[in-house]
A and B are shown apart, each in its own frame.
Chain A
């Protein structure tokens, strides 16, 4: 267990998330404490139902802990209003999902532009930042295409561009290679690794592919039954 550190990008202090199912309590995350240093690439491993995605959602500000605190770059998420959490999601974190979660009726440009619209970035600046983000993932020539016209790997790269466009300090990836073949998955992780090299970009990736995690992450944390089982450097 790692003690909270004020210099950490993310600090988890005895975080629990419980659900009521009838009369029984489901402890999806149970008293987890951990810290992620700025610029670190942490892989969160565990079997299905181990609570790793729930923990990622707590770090993303999509969910609130039942107890404990989640502190990201000095901001205590458990004390934020829903409006402040929305601003946190816009400005501090970027999210990548297993199923890409692109809006199918929008072009790549519009999908990547959406976080900029939400952040009320001016129109003239938006176009440049969208091109820059898409160029970074190598899709600048597919700017007018729709997600259905892209391969899985390209869709995930678009999702990464969308997550990066608001220049967040933390990138959260929930099984980003789960819907991809191994070669494409490897290329996505290579891309994430390149992004991590940007100063200050912290990455937390949920995955169940230990081999890939060991190759690309700085540190592995393993969860089981909602608890943090191990939290150390890759094997």
Chain B
């Protein structure tokens, strides 16, 4: 019999016992729904974790220090250090050269200095940190009070919440107010200024107290931690280009004096280099070392993350497949009952010329149709369950004053896979009843009342 005619007959048969077949289909739908809902959570959590990791800058960043840097990672204790012929200062020229390396997205210095802030006439000691523009996408500023810097050169400041509470417990009242930053500006000594570059071995610099006004534009709840070496200790955040223009004296400036290596030229204690993707870190790190710098990066954790979530998805899939297994038994039961009830009909069909294969295909199609409808309905229900869980989670997060997240995701492969899996499982469930129907002796079947 042609497939279209078999399908017509199968749909007619399914309509005849509509309640029983609907309940069986619903069983399949529940099984698929649990599978899709679980996997959508697994996929959603994986995407969330991956995007957060990517945004954190932990795995696409390389920490660069000069080889002469006592503090630099891998440098070892000073006593064991041997002079490196390739060692070179980490100055503006080096920064520009690093920026030109392939796959490098951004190069910025770590600028952080301890200073005094005056607000409402009172002094407060705090750590100031320069924030690169790219930190906006790190996720640390999601859900903050106020907003991120309006431009990289704006005289604006974002306060860390704990520090903001010291200024005013009602932190939202701080936004729009001004504060004064009092800091020590590093200046070249007079003879260095007159001689241009000055003698290389004439270490030292002068420190001049300065003040600068900043407008408070935001309060960030969680401590920003973009990149290792990060901004964790920064309690007052200002745009990085502004922080650079301040030329504020930093802790390692004193070290430079002691080592008598300061030339008065701007030099960096460290630079953070961001590359296009975590997979490019290793090659870029090697190039930086070739240039004569110490370079350090975290291992790419995304691979380990993917492995973890693959295992999680498999476990979630196995547990949620239990419901589908129960539904499969429902299909077997329904079709075995149908074979028993329709024995005479099967006998008539065989007497009229139906081959065993026709009968088998008829029951297969019935099983497949139940699987298809169950799969479609189940996928929709599973998607809704995922959205509901995501919604509930966000309501809770909102009450905790945390930014919303999307923990459920139903990609196209999950929709297709869910439906296909339901059809395949249903066809497998129809295997035994269909074979049983095909094997029926037509003479015996025709005698059946």
Contacts and interface: CB of A to CB of B under 8 A. Distances in A.
A82 B355 contact: yes
B442 interface: yes
Given A97-B446, A120-B1, A114 B351 contact: no
Interface in A40-91: 57, 60, 62-63, 82-83, 86-87, 89-91
Interface residues of B, number: 22
B338 interface: no
A115 B443 contact: no
Contacts of A95: 351-352
B12 interface: yes
A166 B353 CA distance: 10
Contact of A86 (B12, B344, B348, B354): B354
A91 B12 contact: no
B166 interface: no
B434 to A, nearest CB: 16
Nearest to A117: B5
Contacts of B352: 89-90, 95, 114-115, 118, 162
B357 interface: yes
Interface in B1-38: 1-2, 5, 9, 12, 16
A interface majority secondary structure: helix
A98 to B, nearest CB: 10
Contacts of A103: 345, 348
A105 B353 contact: no
Given A117-B2, A117-B5, A120-B2, A91 B357 contact: no
A60 to B, nearest CB: 7
B443 A105 contact: no
Given A82-B355, A82-B356, A101 B348 contact: yes
Contacts of A91: 353
A89 B353 contact: yes
Contacts of B355: 82-83, 86-87
A184 B442 CA distance: 28
Contacts of A233: none
A87 B353 contact: yes
Interface of A: 57, 60, 62-63, 82-83, 86-87, 89-91, 95, 97, 101, 103, 105-106, 114-115, 117-120, 162, 166
Given A62-B351, A83-B355, A120-B5, 11 more contacts: A62-B443, A62-B446, A83-B357, A87-B353, A90-B353, A95-B352, A101-B446, A103-B345, A103-B348, A106-B12, A119-B353
